[in-house]
Amino acid sequence: MRPEEYDPSRLVELFEAEQILTLDKVAEALGKPSRMTVFRKLAQLGSCASYSHHGRFHTLDRIAEYDRNGLWSCRGVHFSRQGTLLRTILHLVEHSVQGYFASELQALVHVRVHNPLAHLYGAQLLAREQIGDQYLYVSQTSGKKQLEQRYDAIQRAHEQESRVQEISGELGESMRLLLSALNEKQRRLYLGLESIRLGRGGDAKISLVTGVNVKTIAHGRKDLLARNVTADRIRDVGGGRPSFKKKRGNGTPGRTDESGHGRRSNE
Protein backbone atom coordinates (compact mmCIF):
# COMPACT_ATOMS: atom_id res chain seq x y z
CA MET A 1 0.00 0.00 0.00
CA ARG A 2 1.36 3.39 -0.97
CA PRO A 3 2.23 5.46 2.13
CA GLU A 4 0.27 8.66 2.62
CA GLU A 5 2.04 11.65 1.15
CA TYR A 6 2.71 14.36 3.72
CA ASP A 7 1.81 12.21 6.75
CA PRO A 8 0.22 14.56 9.38
CA SER A 9 1.24 12.45 12.41
CA ARG A 10 4.38 14.54 12.98
CA LEU A 11 2.25 17.70 12.76
CA VAL A 12 -0.20 16.38 15.38
CA GLU A 13 2.66 15.58 17.75
CA LEU A 14 4.03 19.09 17.28
CA PHE A 15 0.65 20.68 17.97
CA GLU A 16 0.28 18.63 21.15
CA ALA A 17 3.71 19.79 22.30
CA GLU A 18 3.50 23.47 21.26
CA GLN A 19 -0.31 24.05 21.24
CA ILE A 20 0.00 26.79 18.58
CA LEU A 21 2.12 26.86 15.40
CA THR A 22 2.85 29.31 12.61
CA LEU A 23 2.13 28.28 9.03
CA ASP A 24 5.88 27.98 8.41
CA LYS A 25 6.22 25.41 11.22
CA VAL A 26 3.16 23.55 9.95
CA ALA A 27 4.67 23.35 6.45
CA GLU A 28 8.01 22.22 7.83
CA ALA A 29 6.37 19.44 9.89
CA LEU A 30 4.56 18.22 6.76
CA GLY A 31 7.70 18.19 4.63
CA LYS A 32 7.19 21.58 2.98
CA PRO A 33 4.32 20.81 0.58
CA SER A 34 2.43 23.45 -1.38
CA ARG A 35 0.44 26.09 0.50
CA MET A 36 -2.80 24.52 -0.72
CA THR A 37 -1.75 21.16 0.72
CA VAL A 38 -0.88 22.79 4.05
CA PHE A 39 -4.37 24.27 4.38
CA ARG A 40 -6.00 21.02 3.26
CA LYS A 41 -4.15 19.05 5.95
CA LEU A 42 -5.03 21.64 8.58
CA ALA A 43 -8.70 21.42 7.61
CA GLN A 44 -8.60 17.63 7.86
CA LEU A 45 -7.19 17.89 11.41
CA GLY A 46 -9.86 20.40 12.51
CA SER A 47 -7.63 23.44 12.93
CA CYS A 48 -8.44 27.06 13.76
CA ALA A 49 -6.52 30.18 12.74
CA SER A 50 -5.95 33.00 15.22
CA TYR A 51 -8.03 36.15 14.87
CA SER A 52 -5.04 38.11 16.17
CA HIS A 53 -1.57 38.40 14.57
CA HIS A 54 -3.17 38.49 11.11
CA GLY A 55 -4.15 34.81 11.39
CA ARG A 56 -0.51 33.64 11.33
CA PHE A 57 -1.02 31.08 14.11
CA HIS A 58 -3.01 27.87 14.10
CA THR A 59 -4.19 25.40 16.71
CA LEU A 60 -6.38 22.32 16.78
CA ASP A 61 -9.93 22.67 18.08
CA ARG A 62 -9.41 19.73 20.41
CA ILE A 63 -6.42 21.50 21.98
CA ALA A 64 -7.99 24.93 22.44
CA GLU A 65 -9.67 25.43 25.83
CA TYR A 66 -12.44 27.83 24.83
CA ASP A 67 -14.23 29.78 27.55
CA ARG A 68 -17.99 30.39 27.76
CA ASN A 69 -17.65 33.10 25.09
CA GLY A 70 -15.86 30.71 22.76
CA LEU A 71 -12.52 32.49 23.23
CA TRP A 72 -9.08 31.08 24.02
CA SER A 73 -5.66 32.70 24.37
CA CYS A 74 -2.24 31.06 24.31
CA ARG A 75 1.00 32.98 24.80
CA GLY A 76 -0.66 36.24 23.77
CA VAL A 77 -2.26 34.77 20.63
CA HIS A 78 -6.07 34.79 20.51
CA PHE A 79 -8.48 32.26 19.01
CA SER A 80 -12.26 31.97 18.69
CA ARG A 81 -14.72 29.20 17.93
CA GLN A 82 -16.15 31.60 15.35
CA GLY A 83 -12.83 31.90 13.51
CA THR A 84 -12.35 35.48 12.30
CA LEU A 85 -12.58 38.63 14.38
CA LEU A 86 -15.61 39.86 12.40
CA ARG A 87 -17.56 36.68 13.03
CA THR A 88 -16.46 36.65 16.67
CA ILE A 89 -17.66 40.20 17.35
CA LEU A 90 -20.94 39.58 15.53
CA HIS A 91 -21.54 36.43 17.59
CA LEU A 92 -20.69 38.13 20.89
CA VAL A 93 -23.03 41.06 20.26
CA GLU A 94 -25.86 38.90 18.91
CA HIS A 95 -25.77 36.65 21.99
CA SER A 96 -25.23 39.37 24.61
CA VAL A 97 -27.83 40.35 27.21
CA GLN A 98 -27.35 44.12 26.93
CA GLY A 99 -25.11 44.72 23.91
CA TYR A 100 -21.52 45.93 24.09
CA PHE A 101 -19.65 49.19 24.06
CA ALA A 102 -16.48 49.09 21.95
CA SER A 103 -14.36 49.37 25.10
CA GLU A 104 -16.07 46.31 26.59
CA LEU A 105 -15.55 44.25 23.46
CA GLN A 106 -11.91 45.28 23.23
CA ALA A 107 -11.32 44.19 26.83
CA LEU A 108 -12.94 40.86 25.98
CA VAL A 109 -11.10 39.98 22.76
CA HIS A 110 -7.82 41.79 23.56
CA VAL A 111 -7.48 43.44 20.13
CA ARG A 112 -8.73 46.69 18.58
CA VAL A 113 -12.35 46.43 17.47
CA HIS A 114 -13.26 49.86 16.05
CA ASN A 115 -12.70 48.95 12.39
CA PRO A 116 -14.57 45.61 12.59
CA LEU A 117 -17.48 47.32 14.37
CA ALA A 118 -17.61 50.05 11.74
CA HIS A 119 -17.68 47.38 9.03
CA LEU A 120 -20.46 45.37 10.73
CA TYR A 121 -22.54 48.50 11.32
CA GLY A 122 -22.00 49.73 7.75
CA ALA A 123 -23.11 46.33 6.41
CA GLN A 124 -26.23 46.59 8.62
CA LEU A 125 -25.27 43.43 10.46
CA LEU A 126 -25.29 45.30 13.79
CA ALA A 127 -27.26 48.29 15.10
CA ARG A 128 -26.00 50.91 17.53
CA GLU A 129 -27.33 53.51 19.96
CA GLN A 130 -25.41 56.45 21.36
CA ILE A 131 -25.32 56.52 25.16
CA GLY A 132 -23.33 59.41 26.55
CA ASP A 133 -20.15 59.71 24.52
CA GLN A 134 -20.13 56.03 23.41
CA TYR A 135 -22.01 53.84 20.98
CA LEU A 136 -23.68 50.71 22.29
CA TYR A 137 -23.66 47.97 19.63
CA VAL A 138 -26.68 45.68 19.62
CA SER A 139 -28.31 42.97 17.53
CA GLN A 140 -30.41 43.90 14.51
CA THR A 141 -33.11 41.49 15.66
CA SER A 142 -33.11 41.74 19.48
CA GLY A 143 -31.52 45.17 19.88
CA LYS A 144 -34.57 46.76 21.50
CA LYS A 145 -34.55 44.28 24.37
CA GLN A 146 -30.77 44.60 24.75
CA LEU A 147 -31.13 48.40 25.00
CA GLU A 148 -33.78 48.06 27.71
CA GLN A 149 -31.49 45.74 29.69
CA ARG A 150 -28.59 48.18 29.34
CA TYR A 151 -30.65 51.18 30.50
CA ASP A 152 -31.86 49.15 33.48
CA ALA A 153 -28.26 48.26 34.34
CA ILE A 154 -27.20 51.91 34.09
CA GLN A 155 -30.07 52.94 36.39
CA ARG A 156 -29.13 50.29 38.94
CA ALA A 157 -25.51 51.43 38.82
CA HIS A 158 -26.56 55.04 39.49
CA GLU A 159 -28.73 53.97 42.41
CA GLN A 160 -25.92 51.88 43.83
CA GLU A 161 -23.45 54.75 43.52
CA SER A 162 -25.88 57.08 45.32
CA ARG A 163 -26.26 54.52 48.10
CA VAL A 164 -22.50 54.17 48.45
CA GLN A 165 -22.14 57.95 48.72
CA GLU A 166 -24.83 58.00 51.40
CA ILE A 167 -23.20 55.37 53.57
CA SER A 168 -19.83 57.06 53.10
CA GLY A 169 -21.18 60.29 54.65
CA GLU A 170 -23.38 60.97 57.67
CA LEU A 171 -25.30 57.76 57.19
CA GLY A 172 -22.00 55.89 57.30
CA GLU A 173 -21.23 57.40 60.71
CA SER A 174 -24.64 56.29 61.98
CA MET A 175 -24.03 52.85 60.53
CA ARG A 176 -20.72 52.50 62.35
CA LEU A 177 -22.36 53.71 65.59
CA LEU A 178 -25.09 51.09 65.19
CA LEU A 179 -22.50 48.38 64.56
CA SER A 180 -20.84 49.15 67.87
CA ALA A 181 -24.12 48.30 69.67
CA LEU A 182 -24.67 44.97 67.91
CA ASN A 183 -23.24 41.58 68.66
CA GLU A 184 -21.14 39.69 66.11
CA LYS A 185 -24.03 37.85 64.47
CA GLN A 186 -26.23 40.92 64.28
CA ARG A 187 -23.41 42.94 62.71
CA ARG A 188 -22.84 40.23 60.11
CA LEU A 189 -26.52 40.04 59.17
CA TYR A 190 -27.00 43.80 59.08
CA LEU A 191 -24.00 44.33 56.82
CA GLY A 192 -25.17 41.44 54.66
CA LEU A 193 -28.52 43.22 54.24
CA GLU A 194 -26.79 46.46 53.22
CA SER A 195 -24.71 44.49 50.71
CA ILE A 196 -27.85 42.97 49.20
CA ARG A 197 -29.35 46.44 48.86
CA LEU A 198 -26.29 47.61 46.94
CA GLY A 199 -26.31 44.64 44.61
CA ARG A 200 -23.28 43.45 42.66
CA GLY A 201 -20.03 44.41 44.36
CA GLY A 202 -21.87 45.28 47.58
CA ASP A 203 -19.62 43.17 49.81
CA ALA A 204 -16.50 45.08 48.79
CA LYS A 205 -18.17 48.49 49.01
CA ILE A 206 -19.59 47.84 52.48
CA SER A 207 -16.19 46.54 53.59
CA LEU A 208 -14.54 49.72 52.35
CA VAL A 209 -16.98 51.94 54.26
CA THR A 210 -17.08 49.98 57.53
CA GLY A 211 -13.66 48.32 57.66
CA VAL A 212 -15.30 44.91 58.27
CA ASN A 213 -13.73 41.94 56.49
CA VAL A 214 -15.43 41.28 53.16
CA LYS A 215 -15.75 37.57 54.03
CA THR A 216 -17.80 38.44 57.11
CA ILE A 217 -20.16 40.55 55.02
CA ALA A 218 -20.46 37.82 52.41
CA HIS A 219 -21.28 35.33 55.19
CA GLY A 220 -24.13 37.51 56.43
CA ARG A 221 -25.44 38.09 52.92
CA LYS A 222 -25.46 34.37 52.13
CA ASP A 223 -27.22 33.58 55.43
CA LEU A 224 -29.96 36.09 54.61
CA LEU A 225 -30.43 34.86 51.05
CA ALA A 226 -30.58 31.27 52.29
CA ARG A 227 -33.03 32.31 55.05
CA ASN A 228 -30.53 30.84 57.50
CA VAL A 229 -31.49 33.21 60.34
CA THR A 230 -32.77 32.18 63.78
CA ALA A 231 -33.93 34.38 66.63
CA ASP A 232 -31.68 32.67 69.14
CA ARG A 233 -30.35 34.24 72.30
CA ILE A 234 -27.22 36.37 72.27
CA ARG A 235 -25.52 34.50 75.11
CA ASP A 236 -24.89 30.78 74.98
CA VAL A 237 -26.81 28.58 77.36
CA GLY A 238 -25.13 28.81 80.75
CA GLY A 239 -23.66 32.20 79.98
CA GLY A 240 -24.03 35.29 82.10
CA ARG A 241 -23.56 35.73 85.89
CA PRO A 242 -23.63 32.41 87.84
CA SER A 243 -26.53 31.84 90.25
CA PHE A 244 -25.86 32.75 93.92
CA LYS A 245 -26.49 30.40 96.86
CA LYS A 246 -26.34 31.69 100.39
CA LYS A 247 -23.69 29.91 102.47
CA ARG A 248 -23.46 29.40 106.19
CA GLY A 249 -20.73 31.03 108.17
CA ASN A 250 -18.58 27.85 108.19
CA GLY A 251 -18.72 27.70 104.39
CA THR A 252 -21.18 24.75 104.33
CA PRO A 253 -24.23 25.36 102.16
CA GLY A 254 -27.47 25.18 104.07
CA ARG A 255 -30.36 22.96 103.06
CA THR A 256 -33.88 24.17 102.54
CA ASP A 257 -36.88 22.30 103.94
CA GLU A 258 -40.31 22.20 102.34
CA SER A 259 -41.37 25.39 104.13
CA GLY A 260 -38.51 27.27 102.53
CA HIS A 261 -36.61 27.68 105.87
CA GLY A 262 -33.02 26.61 106.11
CA ARG A 263 -31.93 23.86 108.46
CA ARG A 264 -28.59 22.51 109.60
CA SER A 265 -27.18 19.55 107.76
CA ASN A 266 -26.67 16.39 109.72
CA GLU A 267 -22.98 15.77 110.03
Among residues 120, 140, 163, which one ends one of the domains?
163
Residue 264 lies in a domain: no
In terms of domains, do 76 and 90 share one? Answer: no
In terms of domains, do 221 and 192 share one? Answer: yes
Helix (H) or strand (E) holding 122: helix 114-122
Residue 213 lies in a domain: yes
8 A C-beta contact, residue 239 and residue 247:
no
In terms of domains, do 64 and 37 share one? Answer: yes
Residue 52 lies in a domain: yes
Amino acid at 3: P
Residue 212 lies in a domain: yes
- Looking at residue 236, its pLDDT comes to 42
Q: How many structural domains is the chain composed of?
A: 3
How far apart are the C-alpha atoms of 39 and 203, rounded to whole Å? 52
* Domain residue limits at 221: 169-225
Among residues 163, 183, 214, which one ends one of the domains?
163
- Residue 233 C-alpha from the chain's centroid: 37
Residue 221 lies in a domain: yes
Q: Are strands 57-60 and 77-80 parallel, antiparallel or unpaired?
A: unpaired
In terms of domains, do 74 and 114 share one? Answer: no
**Residue numbers in the chain where pLDDT is lower than 70:** 1-5, 166-172, 231-267
How far apart are the C-alpha atoms of 44 and 56, rounded to whole Å? 18
